[in-house]
Each structure stands twice: as structure tokens, then as C-alpha cells.
Structure 1
Amino acid sequence: MSRAPVAWSTSNMSITEGHRLLDIRRIYLEPAAAELPRGREILARFPDAERVEVESHHRIPELYGDETNVARWVRIKTEALVLGVKKSLTARPNGRSADFIAPSTANGCAMACAYCYVPRRKGYSNPITVFANIDKILGYVQRHAARQGAKPEPNQVDPLAWVYDIGENSDCSLDATISENVRDLVELFRFLPNAKASFATKYVNRDLLDWDPQGRTRIRFSLMPAADSKLLDIRTSPIAERIAAIDDFVAAGYEVHVNFSPVVVREGWLESWAELFEHLDDALSPEARAQLAAEVIFLTHNDRLHEVNLGWHPKAEEVLWRPELQQAKRSETGGWNVRYRTGLKGRHVAALTDLIAARLPYCRIRYAF
């Protein structure tokens, strides 16, 4: 599925005028990745970028684990790209957004959402890492889906197909401006009779409209009140633009769901969500409404990310870090995750799902937590 190298220019990127996300000046690369066809394609797209060989895409001290990088948070996301080889290929069971989490073709992001969990794992900066061994990943996914056979019974993920999340640690719409990895996956799932791809996105990339997914890829546009997005969804497509894209993606053959995520509790939060639902209802065609479903995910935050954010975006922490409303739980990495208190959260979830039922009665809620 490899394609000929594409000459790179800013016209290759579906980024609105004045909102340039990527200006790649340095590529950190594993030598093995540079030898693969996909690796050569990516390097050809950025011919003027400095190339820095690294032993492992996981271990780049000047990018990861250095707290002084907080001051260069957005600059690193804009200027750095990592090119590696995905060594471990597994499909993990999920059960919420998907049945399985597919092996990732990328991780990290050029956007800078203040609540993103990826920086907790990589530390202080998480520019895009692209994996060049796409043929190995495609082969693994195809074999894994074949082993599953027919889905024995419907579940909240999908009534018929096994659904694979292909973008757990990145935004596939933005990844598609870097390489053909995402397109290769969409084309693969077009021909898998028992499986679908799925990914969440905060970035409208209209190049995807030409890919002819034939209903075998589900895009989940993440939505929140516009005021919250302006504060928290840094460097993403505006909420109005995401909503306006839904009908076009449905018409292009995608299944389109929405993620109401993350839900941030603050003064007037429920009224803000009501305004969002009114906007969404006004924008959707009958075809989009007929296939719409939603995930509702309330904020989970983290003490280490809180400290990072204080170094570059402290205003966000005024609504994200609310100890009087939150309770802590030790995370797998040794830090503390915080979420809204038991009891309080249950009431908030019920209030929001009731509001969805009233304002968007055609929108099935796949899960809410």
C-alpha cells in the first residue's frame, strides 16, 4: 500500500489560514525507520529538516522527561517530528470506544489540549512520532480481525462489526498530514467484512473526504462548549468547524459519532452544554441524525499534568484542577489521577444525559462516565 513520495508544501496541509500547526525543522529518526519505504516518503516531505539519528524513539532526552521543556511546549510540537519503528504489535481489548485498541501508527500530537493524558506518559513534550513499518501493522490488524470471525452478538460499541480504535495516542486527522499511514488503514478496513476502524479527532482534515471508506471507518468528532474549547483545546479546529464538517463526512461514507468530552464542571456548565446541543441539532442533516451516537466522558486530570500546565497555561488549571470537587486515585505510573467525587459525579452524569435526551433525542448514548 506504499505510495510514491509526495512533494511537501504547506498546501498539503488542511490547516486554516493563520493556524499553522507544523513547521518541521528537525526529525529524530531511528536508522531502521529511514530505510523503510514509508520512512523515505516522510523524509522526502521535509527535505530541509535537520535529521538527528537516535537509538530509540522512546528515549530522546531533549524531548522527553526534561521539565525545562515546559517553556518550549508548543514550539517543540510545531518544529519536531520523530520517525520510528513500532516494535510491539498487539491489539488490546477495550470495550468502550472500541472492541480493540489497534497497534498505533503514531503517537503524540501537534495540538496542545490542556487535559491530554499523553504528556503524563512521555513527559513535558509530546511531538508527533510516526511509525514507518506500516506494512507490519496492517498485516497484524488484518490477521487479528480474521481470527475474531463474526461478532457473536451486538454490544454498545457496534451491533455487527469488531471496532478497532486506530488513534488512541494521537489524532489521526492530523497524522494524515504527515504520512499515508491513516489512509492505508482506512483502505484496509474497507475490505475487512467483520471489522471497522474508529478514531476520535479535534481536527478537521477535509482531505479525508476523498478516501471512500464505504462505512467501514467511524470518526468521532470531539465536542465541548465553545468557551471551554477556546480555553482548553489549544491549536485545534474550532467547535463550529467540527460541527459543520459532520454532514460532509457522513456524505463521504464515514460513520460519524460525537464525543462529548471532556465534560468540565464549572459555573454555568450545564447551560453551556445546552447551547452546544442546540447548535449541533440545528446543523445536522437527517442522514447524520439517523446514524449519530455519542460518548460522554467527564474530566479526569492528573497531578503531574497539573504541574506541567502551571508552567505554560495556568489559566486552564482554574477549571481543570478543582480539589473541592475532585477525589484522587493512585495511577499506574505512580502519580495521582483526579476525577469528580463519587455521588457528585453521578448527579452530573445524569443531568447531562437527561439534557441530551431532551435536546438530541435521536442521539444514542453509547456510554457515559
Structure 2
Amino acid sequence: MTLVSTEEADARPVARPRSARLWHPRRVLVTPAALEHAHGRQMVAQAEDLGLPVERLKSNRLTGLRDAENPRRAYAQAKATLAIVTAPPTKLKLQPIPPSADWRFDLAEGCPAHCQYCYLAGSLSGPPVTRVYANLDAILGNLESYLGQGGVTSASEARAAEGTTFEASCYTDPLGIEHLTGSLSAAIRHFGAWDAPVQLRFTTKFAAVEPLLDLPHHGRTRIRFSVNAAAAAHYEGGTAPLSERLAAMGAVARAGYPVGLTIAPILPVEGWPDAYDALLRDAAAALSGVAAPDLTVELITHRFTPGSKTVLEGWYPGSDLPMREAERTRKLTKFGSVKYVFPNDLMKAMRAHLTGRIAVHLPTARILYWT
């Protein structure tokens, strides 16, 4: 698969997507430590320019976020809060993130979307405040020491061309908050200027890609769009409509970015074979006119843990998301914890169907993994 050169991308006009809906938090908290960093002060200035209420805290702790008497209210308030903080030192010790990438690093934690299957429910503790990191220079400056040391793409013959890969969307959706932070653009510029076999990767359910189209990315950032069958749209509150995500994918592909589809979480919705076939047809249409797009596909089925189920049912009471243990297969993770996945026969059927239809609709795509 041929990556469009930066010179070719710069030489042709890029179709601009229509303006996307942007998240505006109801309150912005900022710690004293965050104000010690230029990026932190820049984010505060951006929030104030947007007319958002900014509260400068007296300490570096976020307090008063829990409400034992009304957890739903605590959830709603947390989801409407942006906290500008500093990443703790532990964030500078990167962890591998198979099967996606060699390493994960975090520009933020938390997400403004309201996905009823949110996997962060089982990963992050406490109310789901979106925390954005002010010490961006330290976060980006720390990456070089991990060059060539990964165990996913760096050690894979099939994916070696990607170089050392760094995942930036493990604990957040960086595009969904980019208009408030500028952190994603800074990371793309950093990787674009990094003359080494590296790749920045992130996935998003949002569509506000306009600020990214003219950045000097030099093909070192892969933008993946998290998509699902139309029948699953009601599980993805607060995100960009699927049509806008696919249009954004076409726009960044025409701007020379490598792109990707993260089809997740795959669910046996009513008429699922036709539903996912339609999704793939729409994705192919969005990439029409892009010669040999550098396109990857990641296929992730729905699963849940007892802990995440408890949290999600508290956040979204009344959801019809299928999380009945009796209809699932119980498995253990590599850490010894319990997770529930679809039965083997259903998994095989969904995998065969999706991989087959990808070959038909997106013949140049590389399927990275099924999980």
C-alpha cells in the first residue's frame, strides 16, 4: 500500500469538511501546578476566550466530585467538567498497548462522550472528569527514549513499516477535546518533525478535523475513526454522527494522512450482516477518489467485566446494551480477571462476515487484528 507523499498532499486541494459540533464543558478547573506550564496557561486562555467559567484551584487536588447520595448527578457533573492538571510522573513510564501499538502515552484522561459501552468505566476510578495535561513538553520529550523498543509493530515483520508506534487515545478521545487543548496538533507536529521510523496513532468518534488538515504531519500520524453499524448509534451519545466521521476520514485521507477504521464494539444487532455491510459500503464511498489509501482496519467485539457492567448500569440505567452473562462466554484476561465475550460460534460467524466484506468493499485495507 502506497502512502501519499507530503509533497503530493500539499500540491492538491483538500476538501474541507463542514464545521463539526464541539463540546463545551460547563466548568473548567485548573490546578496551580498546571499554571506553571505554558501549555496549561494556553489552555486556560483558550477556555476564557470561549467564555467558559474557569475556576483556579488553591491546591493540586480535585475534590468535591463525588456525591454518594446521587451518583447519577455526580456522573453528569463530572462529564460536564474539564480539569487542567499535570500528568503525574507515572505517566512518563510508558506501557505497551497490544494489539494496537508499541506504547501508549496520554495527552488526557477521560472523554466528553456518553457511550453506553464505554470501556473507560472499567479502567478509570472515580467520577469521569476529563483531565487534560499541561506538562505537554515533558510528555512529548519523553517519547524518544522508547524508540525501537516496542513489542507490537517494532517486533512484527507484518507491521514493521509502521515503525515504533505510539497510541494517544487509550484513555481519551483527543480529537473530541482538541478545540480546548491544542495538544493533539502539538503531538502531530512533534511526530512530523521527528525524523525517525515512528507513528502517532489515535482513534476518535468525533469529526472536527479541520485544524489538522494543514499540519506538517509527514505521514507519521495515523488517524483512525471508531465506527459502528447504524443500529448501534443510540449507544454513542455525544459523539459525531457516523456520516460526519466518515466524511472526516475522507478529508484527512485526502490531506495525506494514513487512516484507519476501528469497528467497535461489534455487536450482533438485528440484521447485523447487512448492517455491517452497509457500514463498509459507506466507508468505501467516503474514500472514493483517494488513490490507494493507506487504510487499516481494527475489529473489536463487545466484551465487559463485572466491574465495568456495574459502573455502566449506574451511569446508564435502562440501557438495552446486551450484557447478560448467560448469553456470553466467561474468560480470564492475562491478568486473571474475568471478562464476558460472545460465544465462539457467533464470534466465528461475525469474523468471517466482516473480513469477507472488507475484502469486497475495501480491498486495499490491511486488517490489523480481530479481538
Using the size of structure 1 for normalisation, the TM-score is 0.83
Deviation, 1:359, is 3.2
> 1:5 is matched with which residue?
none
Residue 176 (structure 1) shift: 1.6
Amino acid at match of 2:350: H
Consecutive unaligned residues of structure 1, counting only runs of 5 or more, are: 1-13
Q: Give the whole-Å Cα distance in 2 for the aligned partners of 1:170 and 1:177.
A: 14
Matches within 5 A, 1:138-177: 138-145=140-147, 155-177=157-179
Correspondence 1:145-224 to 2 at 5 A: 145=147, 155-192=157-194, 193-205=196-208, 206-224=210-228
Shift of 1:106: 0.8
Counterpart of 1:253 in 2: which secondary structure?
coil
> How big is the shift at 1:64?
5.8
Question: Whole-Å Cα distance in 2 between the matches of residues 361 and 308 of structure 1?
Answer: 39
Give the alignment of 1:16-31 within 5 angstroms. Answer: 16=20, 19-29=21-31, 31=32
CA contact (8 A) 1:99 1:162 kept: yes
Moved more, 186-195 or 138-147: 138-147
Q: Does 2:54 align with 1:49?
A: yes
SS of 2:216's partner is: coil
Q: Higher RCO, 1 or 2 (CA under 8 Å, sep at least 6)?
A: 2
- 1:200–1:221: 8 Å Cα contact kept in structure 2? yes
Q: Is the 8 A contact 2:28 2:83 kept in 1?
A: yes
Which residues in structure 2 correspond to 1:1-369 (within 5 Å)? 16=20, 19-29=21-31, 31-47=32-48, 48-56=53-61, 60=62, 62-63=64-65, 68-88=70-90, 89-101=92-104, 103-123=105-125, 125-145=127-147, 155-192=157-194, 193-205=196-208, 206-229=210-233, 231-287=234-290, 289-316=292-319, 318-329=320-331, 336-369=338-371
User: Which is further off, 38-47 or 252-261?
Assistant: 38-47
Q: Tell me what 2:3 maps to.
A: none
* Contact 1:220/1:257 (<8 A) preserved: yes
**What is the CA–CA distance in structure 2 between the aligned matches of 1:65 and 1:353, rounded to whole Å?**
45
**Runs of 5+ consecutive residues of structure 2 not aligned to the other structure:** 1-17
Q: Distance in 1 between matches of 2:311 and 2:291?
A: 39
| C-alpha spacing 1:174/1:79, structure 2 compared with 1 (3 Å) | same
Closer, same or farther in 2 for the Cα pair 1:105/1:32, shift >3 Å? same
User: Displacement of 1:243 after TM fit?
Assistant: 0.7
Q: Deviations over 1:229-268 (max 9, x none)?
A: 2x11110011000111122101223111111111012331
Cα deviation for residue 160 of structure 1 reads 4.4
Q: 1:119-149 CA distances to partner (integer Å, 9 max, x unpaired)?
A: 223346312111111111111112322778x
Please give the TM-score of this superposition, normalised by the length of structure 2.
0.83
Superposition RMSD in Å: 2.8
Cα offset, 1:93, TM superposition:
2.5
SS in 2 for 1:169: coil
Q: Which runs of 4+ in 1 moved over 6 A?
A: 331-335
Contact 2:81 2:130 in 1 (8 A): no
* 2-structure distance, mates of 1:362, 1:322: 37
Q: Which string of whole-angstrom CA distances, capped at 9 and with x for unpartnered residues, describes residues 187-234 of structure 1?
A: 1111222111000111112212122212110001111112202x1111
Q: Partner of 1:242: helix, strand, or coil? A: helix
1:235 and 1:366 map into 2 onto residues whose CA distance is 28
Could you tell me how far apart the structure 2 residues matched to 1:351 and 1:250 are? 26
The total of aligned residue pairs comes to 345
**Pair 200,152 (structure 1): closer, same or farther in 2 beyond 3 Å:** closer
